[in-house]
Amino acid sequence: MENMNDTLLKRFVSYATTWTTSDLEKADAGIMPSTDRQADFARTLKNELHSIGISDVTITEHAYVCARLPATKGCEKAPVVGFLAHMDTAEEVSGENVKPNIVKNYDGSVLNIGNGIVLDPAKDAALAAAKGETVITTDGSTLLGADDKAGIAEIMTAMEALIADKDAKHGTIEIIFSPDEETGHGMDYVPTDWLTAKQCYTLDGGHVGELETECFTAYKCDVNFTGVACHTGTARGIMANAITMASAFVSMLPQNESPEATDGYYGFYAPMDMTASIENAHVLLYLRDFTMEKMQRRLDTVDIIAKAIEARFNGGKVEVVHTKQYLNMKEELDKNPAVVEKLVQAAKLAGAEPVFSPIRGGTDGSRLTEMGIPTPNIFTGGHNFHSRSEWVSLDQMNTATKLVIELAKLWAN
């Protein structure tokens, strides 16, 4: 196997330049994968898995790539361990025609990457800490796709290294590359009948050393407004404008509890989309917090605001539908300490100092943990996800790859 950094770089650039953006509207309608381009990428990954020496590879009807690397001799009874990463990129920023910009031996200066996007280490502590590393950015016109193609590259490279190392001992390893994580549907059709691992790890995190065992509890709210239309010249006392109703609803959400005003363990209300006409309007609202008690407060607040809007607009109606998306995985992971203990040990063996921080979001591992398979999240070296400012450190990707290798070996023992 060639130098690991060279292998990772080639893989990541190849993956990043492959368009795999998912589609929330289609995913919400039950279409999986939500875009054909994800299925195309799945076939590419299947072929690559074959090429590195894994023969047991299948793609499900919903485009999950499932691969199984057999245990080495003498390790057949070791616990099976799984590794997951997702194929899609977020649709908030274009993921088409990505042009990665490779900055070797980054000197710690301001990076004007293009299209008016500036990466300033004075405002980005992680970038400042990456001085001397190989940094990969966008050209400022798209996102990069380190979320989560860095994770895929790391898993693929780790498997290739394990296969090439004839002295490495490991149990059976199962790999899943999933579609539609960014739409919140990444585990809707995960093939649990195929998966035999009782413990898994997602590679979908950020800065080197960050290990994540807790995340948001997440709900979405579909808020539907029904107005009363009439001629604007004779509207007094008759019209209930659904556009105004929806706007008033959004304005009543606590602004100090928005994504842009919170961090750490503070949750938020996040309006994500609004469509409106005089008769009908819809607001898609995301709610996030770390405990179910705090989440219930947010759900109740949304209902109260909806009732207030309905009372304020004569004849107008407001309907709220709450849908659970995923739960904080901390409680279930606390019941399975070995999963985290081995992760900490592997991180140290790979040369990373473990740092635990809450995920201000969720991963496929959140859902998988909820299904009964404890699945903490591992750093990938990626930063500023879902933006034109996204970047990844190749050196940190190397460390994540080594961590996966060490984890595989530890579970064999």
Give residue-wise pLDDT tens across range 225-258: 999 999 999 999 999 999 999 999 999 999 999 9
pLDDT at 404 over 90: yes
List of long-range contacts for 286-290, beta carbons under 8 Å, 24+ apart: 286/218, 286/219, 286/220, 286/221, 287/218, 287/219, 287/220, 287/221, 288/216, 288/217, 288/218, 288/360, 288/361, 289/216, 289/217, 290/214, 290/216, 290/217, 290/265, 290/328, 290/358
d(CA 376, CA 214): 8
Contacts of residue 33, Cβ cutoff 8 Å, sequence gap at least 6:
22, 39, 42, 62, 63, 88, 179, 180
**Are 146 and 9 within 8 A, CB to CB?**
no
Same domain, 21 and 124: yes
* 396: Cα separation from own chain's centroid: 18
* Beta bridge pairs of residue 83: 175, 201
For tokens 């949750």, name the residue. Answer: 267
Same domain, 20 and 64: yes
Across the chain, what does the average pLDDT equal?
96
Residue type for position 314: N
How does residue 359 score in pLDDT terms, banded at 50, 70 and 90? confident
**Are 144 and 98 within 8 A, CB to CB?**
yes
pLDDT at 403 over 90: yes
Choosing from 181, 289, 332, 364, the catalytic residue is: 181
Q: Give pLDDT, residue 208.
A: 97
Q: Give pLDDT, residue 2.
A: 61
Same domain, 185 and 256: no
Residue type for position 47: N
d(CA 304, CA 298): 10
pLDDT at 204 over 80: yes
**Are 182 and 22 within 8 A, CB to CB?**
yes
**Are 410 and 346 within 8 A, CB to CB?**
yes
Same domain, 223 and 204: no
| CATH code for position 291 | 3.30.70.360
Residue type for position 172: T
Same domain, 151 and 92: yes
Domain termination residue (choose one: 326, 348, 373): 326
d(CA 187, CA 62): 11
Same domain, 299 and 350: no
Same domain, 117 and 258: no
Count of alpha carbons within 13 Å of 74, Cβ hemisphere only? Answer: 6
Name the DSSP letter for residue 122.
Answer: T
Domain termination residue (choose one: 276, 303, 326): 326
Choosing from 88, 174, 204, 310, the catalytic residue is: 88
23 tagged catalytic: no
End-to-end alpha carbon distance in the chain: 25
How does residue 265 score in pLDDT terms, banded at 50, 70 and 90? very high
Nearest in space to 98 (alpha carbons), one of 391, 363, 346, 338: 391
State mean pLDDT over 335-340.
94
Helices (H) and strands (E) in the chain, counts: 11, 18
**Are 199 and 42 within 8 A, CB to CB?**
no
Domain termination residue (choose one: 307, 326, 345): 326
Same domain, 36 and 181: yes
**Are 251 and 312 within 8 A, CB to CB?**
no
* 201: Cα separation from own chain's centroid: 13
Same domain, 274 and 305: yes
Same domain, 376 and 251: no
Q: Give pLDDT, residue 276.
A: 97
pTM for this model (two decimals): 0.88
Which of the residue ranges 69-78, 186-195, 308-317, 359-368 would you say has the lowest mean pLDDT?
A: 359-368
56 tagged catalytic: no
| CATH code for position 176 | 3.40.630.10
Which is more confident, 359 or 382? Answer: 382
**Are 411 and 82 within 8 A, CB to CB?**
no
Q: Give pLDDT, residue 101.
A: 97
pLDDT at 312 over 60: yes
Same domain, 100 and 183: yes
Contacts of residue 187, Cβ cutoff 8 Å, sequence gap at least 6:
178, 364, 367, 368, 371
3-state secondary structure 155-200: HHHHHHHHHHCCCCCCCCEEEEEECCCCCCCCCCCCCCCCCCCCEE
The number of domains in the chain is 2
Same domain, 21 and 154: yes
pLDDT at 184 over 90: no
How does residue 361 score in pLDDT terms, banded at 50, 70 and 90? confident
Which structural domain, as residue segments, surrounds residue 166?
4-215+328-412
